[in-house]
Amino acid sequence: MSEAAPTVVIRGGSVVGTSGTARADVVVADGVVVALGEQLQVPRGAVVLEAGGCLVSPGLVDLHTHLRQPGHEEAETVESGTRAAALGGFSALVAMPNTDPPIDSAAVAEEVLALGKGRPCEVLVAGAITIGRRGEELAPLRELAALGVRLFTDDGSGVQSGAVMRRALEYARGLGVTLAQHCEDADLAAGGAMHDGEWSSRLGLPGIPAAAEEAMMARDLALVRQTGAPMHFLHVSTRGSVALLAAAKAEGLPVTAEVTPHHLALTHAAVCGYDPVFKVNPPLRTAEDTRALARALGQGTIDAIATDHAPHPPEAKDMPFDQAPAGMLGLETALSVSIRALEGVLSPEEVIGRMTAAPASIARVSVADRPAGSAQGGPLVVGAAGHVCVFDPDATWTVDAQRQASRSRNTPFAGTTLRGRVRHTLYAGFPVVIDAESQR
Ligand SMILES: [Zn+2]
């Protein structure tokens, strides 16, 4: 995007701010917000985007996206994944390092960062904690940190060795970066295909116990206590994990956590027809778990919503349930699904906060980390970056898996009619989505 950003007027929406929502037009020029106010004059030549009835917020930030490039371009590419992100209202995403080869070297990180230039949202990368994500030898965290990498994870699997995790935490603390853990004890989870409970017994499928997640989280919290290094917990899925996090935060440990829209919206009962689209890791849990996760997000025990967008091409996903790969698409449906799942617990504005300021702070791209004109996550004030999500809470649409921007089709919401849709997205002042249509 080397051309100059146009002047854009977002007209007649309700701007979501830190102290409430107020009716205002927003003018973005040269990539930054230049004016906010009621019924502003439209500058000559400006692009006018109607936002009547819509919530106008900072662009969303996703802490957890699998872009699959390099190595699995049949599932997703940086190009298709960032287009899906923009359609979902995101202006930044963190690309997970479980690519092939994994992002465990400066060369691969540089490759993904280069592929991320000129896209309809910002591409940040997470580095692997260990070489090859094998959980043995530490990746060159310092070299990766020098490229701006602030999050490290072996996501896809947890770091099994407590000794390796302890060493990684000590090293990360010195570098000022954050480790993000996919909590899963591989021995406890071995062979499992869904949550170990009532539905796994009924369906005769091997289970993954809640303890597989909770045991590793408990160990890692002990290591955080010992090392003083910060840690972020990916896709928290059980009420036992929520209890561990609540105690850790009450104690003052430097921990943050995320939950996915699908773990808020769906339960293990969704697996009843053996459709592998509902296979995901961690697995869909019980209704008590989803309620505990929603409450935890409301109370701040869980900080952010993150998609864990995990594309798999139809030929890979179309397998018997126990053999299919785990993962679901998430970017294009995240905001509508989260607002609906959190009704009665969080207002739409509060949900947006969990998808903007909170993840931007965890990814270290917020206004505390960057100049306002290039920061992510808002707030939407004069001088802020022109990253804007315009969401129509009343629009209804039926999810068509064939029409997603993603190269894959594995959305659990195919055929579902959702309420609320991202109408426009601006990235760095460019309207990259207009009326729910990608402009790139
Ligand atoms: Zn994971």
pLDDT digits (tens, 9 = 90+) for 246-260: 999 999 999 999 999
Q: Out of 308, 322, 392, 435, which one is annotated catalytic?
A: 308
Per-residue confidence (pLDDT) for residue 87, from 0 to 100: 98
Residues, Cβ < 5 Å to ion ligand 1: 155, 182
Helices (H) then strands (E): counts for the chain: 14, 19
Largest Cα–Cα distance of the chain, in whole Å?
66
Judge contact between 62 and 96, C-beta under 8 A: no
- Please report, rounded to a whole number, the percentage of residues in the chain having pLDDT higher than 70: 100
Per-residue confidence (pLDDT) for residue 440, from 0 to 100: 84
At residue 273, φ and ψ (nearest 5 deg) are: -95, 15
d(CA 106, CA 17): 38
Sign of the C-alpha dihedral, residues 170, 172, 178, 184?
negative
How many CB atoms are closer than 10 A to CB 194?
Answer: 26
Per-residue confidence (pLDDT) for residue 4, from 0 to 100: 86
For 1-5, 71-75, 276-280, 391-395, which range has the lowest pLDDT when averaged over its residues?
A: 1-5
Amino acid at 122: E
Per-residue confidence (pLDDT) for residue 2, from 0 to 100: 55
Strands 90-95 and 60-65: parallel
pLDDT at 339 over 70: yes
CA atoms within 13 A on the CB side of 294: 24
Q: What is the pLDDT of residues 291-307, one digit of tens each?
A: 999 999 999 999 999 99
* Residue length of the chain: 440
Q: Residue 179 has which token pair?
A: 């480790």
d(CA 134, CA 129): 9
Calculate how far, in angstroms, residue 288's C-alpha sits from the geometric centre of ligand 1: 21
Instruction: Tell me, yes or no, if 308 is annotated catalytic.
Output: yes
Q: CA nearest 8: which of 424, 437, 440?
A: 424
Calculate how far, in angstroms, residue 32's C-alpha sits from the geometric centre of ligand 1: 34
What angle is formed at CA 112 by the lines to CA 109 and CA 117, rounded to 5 degrees? 125
Under the banding of pLDDT at 50, 70 and 90, the label for residue 404 is very high
DSSP string, 71-133: T-TTT--HHHHHHHHHHTTEEEEEE-S-SSS-S-SHHHHHHHHHHTTTSSSEEEEPBPSBGGG
CA atoms within 13 A on the CB side of 214: 13
Q: How does the average pLDDT of the chain come out, rounded?
A: 97
Per-residue confidence (pLDDT) for residue 21, from 0 to 100: 94
Domains and CATH numbers, the chain: 8-56+381-438 (2.30.40.10), 58-374 (3.20.20.140)
pLDDT at 3 over 90: no
pLDDT at 1 over 80: no
Calculate how far, in angstroms, residue 151's C-alpha sits from the geometric centre of ligand 1: 14
Question: What value does the mean pLDDT take over residues 269-287?
Answer: 98
Question: What value does the mean pLDDT take over residues 110-121?
Answer: 98
Calculate how far, in angstroms, residue 47's C-alpha sits from the geometric centre of ligand 1: 40
313-335 b/e (C-beta count within 10 Å ≥ 16 → b): beebbeeebbebbbbbbbbbbbb
Calculate how far, in angstroms, residue 327's C-alpha sits from the geometric centre of ligand 1: 9
- Please report, rounded to a whole number, the percentage of residues in the chain having pLDDT higher than 90: 97
How many CB atoms are closer than 10 A to CB 336?
Answer: 28
Amino acid at 75: A
d(CA 334, CA 341): 10
Question: What value does the mean pLDDT take over residues 370-379?
Answer: 97
d(CA 95, CA 127): 9
pTM > 0.75: yes
Calculate how far, in angstroms, residue 357's C-alpha sits from the geometric centre of ligand 1: 22
Calculate how far, in angstroms, residue 97's C-alpha sits from the geometric centre of ligand 1: 11
Q: CA nearest 260: which of 312, 346, 329, 178?
A: 329
